Chains A and B, each alone.
Chain A
Amino acid sequence: MAFWIASSPHNHNLNETSALMRLVIYAALPGILVQWYFFGWGNIIHISLAIITALVCEFTVLALRQKKIQPQLLDGSAILTAILLGICLPALAPWWISVIGTIFAIVIVKQLYGGLGHNLFNPAMAGYVMLLISFPLQMTSWQPPLSLMPMNVDFFHAISTIFTGFTPDGYSVEQLRTSADGFTMATPLDTLKTDLFLGLTVSESMTSPVFGDHFAVGWEWVNFAFLAGGLFLIIKKCIAWQTPVSFLFSLFICSFIAYTINPDNSASTMFHWFSGACMLGAFFILTDPVSGAASAKGRLIIGALAGLLVYLIREFGGYPDGVAFAILLCNMTAPLIDQFTRPRTYGHKRGET
């Protein structure tokens, strides 16, 4: 009979980090499925590629760092990073895009900064931004929704395009993106930006087929699915509500002000909400606790800042969408925000240490 000595508390709610990660992955599934429905197999292939690359990278670095491999490899964090990156990539981008992006995200952004819990930047977004800056052509060759494409792109088409650059029938990505009337189709955000630059008004631009009946064909439903997944995570108390609420509110306010002042040159608030990576960013990436703010107040500030930045980049920046950049910029400010938003401890006056 041996007495077992342990430090209090002796009880635990038996929650685990890996369980949290798994829950986030599950919550992303509806979004991935909708994406598959509207855009085909491309992203699922990229997600798979990214997961394999992430696991190989994680294994290699953990082995080099002489860490316990099995628990850390399977804690889900690397897989989650890979999934988020895979979701963000253009569906028919070449295979090495997701491989290089994942290697950068896992090896450099995550592990070289000290591994899980120590990375300053969100690995998926840092990987995405690296790709966007380094390979602008591949990273902006967005595939239009299947319904708008002149030819059918099934699984084999997608896989062949990703690995060889051409469909089995010999079409390139560029040709796939060309609509029946000879225009290259871009994402709704991109289309709007180009049209406004060309001097069209928003309502004129909105006649383009990529916008569909509501805001953006396909994209609106993808965003909606990520919103649903995000709400599930909030209900499960897996992510803090402050960040996404503050982010969406901030984006809403910014776009609302612009829309009221100048409706001809400003997209509607709901267009901002339901296009691009808005909901994915709000609920799945900005809420990454490692690179975000720690206190409730800090999260509100980070969310508002990110919303403002996304709006500014979309409206005035060189890129059509700004979620990734906004999030990286917010990651940078997080430590400083943490410093100034510590809650008042019981029995202390505000501002008193």
Chain B
Amino acid sequence: MMKSIIERISQGKFWQFHGGIHPPEQKKLTSEKPIRNIALPKQLILPLQQHIGSQGELLVTVGDKILKGQPLTKSLNPMSVPVHAPTSGIISAIKKSVIAHPSGLSELCIFIDVDGNDSWIKREICNDFKTLDKETIINKIASAGIAGMGGAGFPTHIKLSAKPEINFLIINAAECEPYITADDLLIREQSEAIIDGIKILDHLLTPAFILIGIEDNKPEAIKALQEATRNIEKIKVCILPTKYPTGGEKQLIKVLTGKEIKSGSLPINSGIIVQNIATCFAITDAVIHDIPLIRRVVTVSGKSLGKPQNIWALLGTPISYLLKQCDHTHENNNKLVVVMGGPLMGFSISNAQVPIIKTSNCILAPSAIEMPSAFSGKSNEVECIRCGQCSDVCPSQLMPQELQWSAKAKDYDQLNKLNLFDCIDCGACAYVCPSQIPLVEYYRIAKAEIRQQQLFDVKSEKAKTRFEARKIRLEKDKTARIEKHKKAAEARKAAMNNSTPEANGAKSAVAAALARVKAKKAASNNQKKSISNKEQHESNDQNHESSLKSNDNRKAKISATIAKVKAKKAQEASISKEVELNDSVTSTLKITDDKKVRIAATIAKAKAKEKEIDNKEEKVTFKSSSKNNQQKEST
């Protein structure tokens, strides 16, 4: 099986994934210029979280002087990676600031005032990584803060720590999205270092084969890779036909191996690991040169720039600074479109202070002529005519037109049936749609709503079980109580009816009490009449009072008993009725109750949701999009 795959690949034959599009590539704008090093910006803004997972714990405080490469956060769990100081300087603030995220969310960021010395922390250079054991290497990668640099930012060490047998290590150099040439240029300039990184991965994972997938629109990079891998039997440079989205993880796997990753499963379960080629370079830096991930190649492109080019940007560099370096002209006074990422999967940013992070491979500043649909603002959407062009291009072989209807109708069951969650957000459908329906937007909203619904369902399910349990408990208590009362009453009854001495005593006690009451009444009358005989009456009163008290107690007890008996009878009756009512009846009652509760809760939630719908949606979308990004390293 594997042999035949390799044979095919050696012959230059590949599989095909369904659909795909050929948007204008526009790579020439930046592909013919070397990667430029730019002067240090005055300030860097480092978000604590730049990857999928959780953020690390802060190691520094405001006012600290920091050196280049110094870790600023500490990772607390496997899914978090630290961030490092990209250059030396002083921490001026640690506060919330707008981050690179579609929602324009604010998250905790470290602000660094750059001192311009660029002085390094002490480094330990390791010339031969083979002397290190695997765990040390993985630790080095983890503590260098490396997360997938293709777009999703999945912590790299997690992928490397897994231990199943790996058949294929796939290096994703497809870079299929238009405009982006960051990987292309990096390969051309750093092919040796990249191959070193691949060797490190090989050492860690010992895969049977290593496949580098690269699209045929990068001839120079292909040449560089072929040159660098000439003597390595295990590595195959696979030149793939250019088609978007070849760089999607699932699509790349399909093209190279003919295998499909089962829906909801990870490639590693099929013995495949995909790493982005820029990540390989970062691994070399980390393991050999002890340089943490503090910079990356960013393509700054688009026709509103005077000098579009690739730049070695320090993480945390504000986008405005990069745009200035590329002579950004602002032609239109009202509208400015700046996209982080490519034109098909990137997101437009709302603030020029947004910093470059580990996953930012491109900053796109198109002109209005170049990308009119991005500037039009209002939607030009018209009715779907079911032309089916969307399903022709869908790489997941979905039916986008049907999804769209179900999404508009909020028919979540149908959406699940149509496999909405296999959509990778690649945007091919919306790109070709003649009715210009923003399909991906509809799917994102639907995905977010379904996720929310699922969370809610889980919650309500829990509440339901709790409620049921409580009901059963109450029922039990009730029957136990009734049983107890019944027994007690029976015992009393028996005692009363028997002419035992105690019973007689009780009767006589009652009679005595009645007598005492009468006496007391008489006495109280007397009391009113003869106030002069106080002293005598006082003693009498005391007697009377005590008898009165006991009398009252008795009375109360008797009436209580009578009431109890009545209640018991009533309860018995109701219980027998209840027993007669079979389970189904009670359960339907319960269900209707539950429904009411649920409906009320839903309405309340919906109201609450409406208020902060934007925030929430964006947040959930972030999660979903980042999840999808994970599948789609380096498109």
Residues of A whose CB lies within 8 Å of any CB of B are 1-17, 19-20, 71-72, 75, 77, 115-118, 237, 240, 289-290, 292, 294-295, 338, 342-348, 353
User: How many residues on B have C-beta within 8 angstroms of the other chain's C-beta atoms?
Assistant: 76
List B residues 528-576 near A (Cβ within 8 Å): none
Chain A proximity of B230: nearest CB distance (Å): 35
The answer to whether the Cβ of B444 comes within 8 Å of any Cβ in the partner chain is: yes
Taken together as a complex, chains A and B put the C-alpha atoms of A237 and B22 apart, in Å, by 14
Of A5, A12, A295, A345, chain B has the most CB atoms within 10 Å of the CB of A12
Residues of B whose CB lies within 8 Å of any CB of A are 17-18, 21, 23-24, 104, 178, 250, 254, 260-265, 330, 333-339, 341, 343-352, 364, 366, 371-375, 377, 382-389, 391, 395-399, 401-402, 416-419, 422, 425, 427, 430-436, 438, 440-441, 444
Residues of B within 8 A of A292 (CB): 386
Residues of A within 8 A of B382 (CB): 17, 71-72, 75, 116
Quick one: closest B residue to A71, CB to CB?
A: B382
Taken together as a complex, chains A and B put the C-alpha atoms of A1 and B328 apart, in Å, by 13
Chain B proximity of A237: nearest CB distance (Å): 8
Question: Is A4 a contact of B385 with CB atoms below 8 Å?
Answer: no
Beyond A346-B250, A347-B263, whether A294 also contacts B348 by CB under 8 A is: no
Question: Is B178 a contact of A11 with CB atoms below 8 Å?
Answer: yes
Taken together as a complex, chains A and B put the C-alpha atoms of A116 and B441 apart, in Å, by 22
Residues of A within 8 A of B417 (CB): 353
Question: Is A7 a contact of B330 with CB atoms below 8 Å?
Answer: no
Question: Is A117 a contact of B372 with CB atoms below 8 Å?
Answer: no
Question: Is A353 a contact of B383 with CB atoms below 8 Å?
Answer: no
Quick one: closest A residue to B265, CB to CB?
A: A347
Beyond A3-B350, A294-B386, whether A10 also contacts B419 by CB under 8 A is: no
Taken together as a complex, chains A and B put the C-alpha atoms of A344 and B324 apart, in Å, by 48
Residues of A within 8 A of B427 (CB): 8-9
A-B contact pairs, 5 of them (CB 8 A): A2-B334, A11-B373, A342-B402, A346-B250, A348-B263
Which of these, B260, B341, B399, contacts A346 with CB under 8 Å?
A: B260
Chain B proximity of A324: nearest CB distance (Å): 21
Question: Is B374 a contact of A4 with CB atoms below 8 Å?
Answer: yes
Taken together as a complex, chains A and B put the C-alpha atoms of A128 and B467 apart, in Å, by 63
Beyond A9-B430, A343-B397, whether A14 also contacts B372 by CB under 8 A is: yes
Taken together as a complex, chains A and B put the C-alpha atoms of A294 and B263 apart, in Å, by 23
Question: Is A348 a contact of B374 with CB atoms below 8 Å?
Answer: no
Question: Is A4 a contact of B375 with CB atoms below 8 Å?
Answer: yes
Which 7 pairs across A and B sit closest by C-beta, in order of nearness?
A9-B427, A117-B383, A347-B263, A11-B343, A7-B441, A12-B373, A10-B374
Taken together as a complex, chains A and B put the C-alpha atoms of A294 and B386 apart, in Å, by 7
Question: Is B434 a contact of A4 with CB atoms below 8 Å?
Answer: no
Chain B proximity of A330: nearest CB distance (Å): 14
Quick one: closest B residue to A339, CB to CB?
A: B402
Question: Is A346 a contact of B17 with CB atoms below 8 Å?
Answer: yes
Beyond A1-B336, A75-B382, whether A17 also contacts B434 by CB under 8 A is: yes
Residues of A within 8 A of B373 (CB): 10-12, 14
Residues of A within 8 A of B364 (CB): 10
Taken together as a complex, chains A and B put the C-alpha atoms of A116 and B343 apart, in Å, by 30
Beyond A2-B336, A4-B374, whether A10 also contacts B348 by CB under 8 A is: yes
Chain B proximity of A7: nearest CB distance (Å): 4
Question: Is A346 a contact of B366 with CB atoms below 8 Å?
Answer: no
Residues of A within 8 A of B425 (CB): 8
Taken together as a complex, chains A and B put the C-alpha atoms of A75 and B330 apart, in Å, by 34
Taken together as a complex, chains A and B put the C-alpha atoms of A118 and B382 apart, in Å, by 12
Question: Is B386 a contact of A2 with CB atoms below 8 Å?
Answer: no
Quick one: closest B residue to A287, CB to CB?
A: B387
Question: Is B397 a contact of A117 with CB atoms below 8 Å?
Answer: no
Taken together as a complex, chains A and B put the C-alpha atoms of A9 and B364 apart, in Å, by 12
Taken together as a complex, chains A and B put the C-alpha atoms of A345 and B403 apart, in Å, by 13
| Other 20 A-B pairs with CB < 8 A, given A8-B341, A10-B373, A345-B396 | A1-B330, A3-B351, A4-B374, A5-B348, A6-B348, A7-B438, A13-B21, A13-B23, A15-B432, A17-B382, A20-B387, A71-B382, A72-B382, A290-B385, A342-B399, A345-B397, A345-B398, A346-B397, A348-B263, A353-B416
Residues of B within 8 A of A237 (CB): 389
Of A7, A11, A75, chain B has the most CB atoms within 10 Å of the CB of A11
Taken together as a complex, chains A and B put the C-alpha atoms of A4 and B368 apart, in Å, by 11
Which of these, B375, B377, B385, B416, contacts A289 with CB under 8 Å?
A: B385
Chain A proximity of B528: nearest CB distance (Å): 90
Question: Is A289 a contact of B431 with CB atoms below 8 Å?
Answer: no
Taken together as a complex, chains A and B put the C-alpha atoms of A77 and B391 apart, in Å, by 22
Beyond A3-B336, A17-B382, whether A11 also contacts B402 by CB under 8 A is: no
Question: Is A10 a contact of B366 with CB atoms below 8 Å?
Answer: yes
